[in-house]
Amino acid sequence: MSEYYLGDPCYVIPDDEWSDFCSIMRDDGEDFEYKGETCRVIGTGGDGSFGGLSVDAGIIGVIPVSLCDPQALKDTVPSDARLINRFATLERYGWGDIILVDDDPINGYHCECGWSGCSSIESEYNMCSCDTCGSMVASSCVHITDNGEYCSEDCSPEEECEQCGTDFIPCGGDTLCDDCSYYSVCGCPKDDPSDSEDECADCKDDDEEE
DSSP 53-82: EEESSSEEEEEEGGGS-HHHHHHHTTTT-E
Q: What is the DSSP letter of 45?
A: S
φ, ψ dihedrals at 119, nearest 5°: -130, 25
Q: Which of 8-12, 54-58, 110-114, 173-177 has the lowest mean pLDDT?
A: 173-177
Looking at the DSSP assignment, which residues form a beta bridge with residue 137?
Answer: 128
**Residues 66-92: pLDDT tens digits?**
999 999 999 999 999 999 999 999 999
Residue 151 and residue 179: Cα distance in Å, rounded? 29
Q: Model pTM?
A: 0.67
Most confidently modeled range among 27-36, 96-105, 129-138, 143-152: 27-36
The whole-chain average pLDDT of the chain stands at 89
- pLDDT for 146: 73
> For the residues 5-31, what does the mean pLDDT come to?
98
Residue 88: closest CA among 7, 188, 163, 208: 7
Looking at the DSSP assignment, which residues form a beta bridge with residue 100?
Answer: 91, 105
pLDDT tier at 202 (50, 70, 90 boundaries)? Answer: confident
**Residues 135-183: pLDDT tens digits?**
999 988 998 887 789 888 888 877 777 778 777 766 656 777 888 888 8
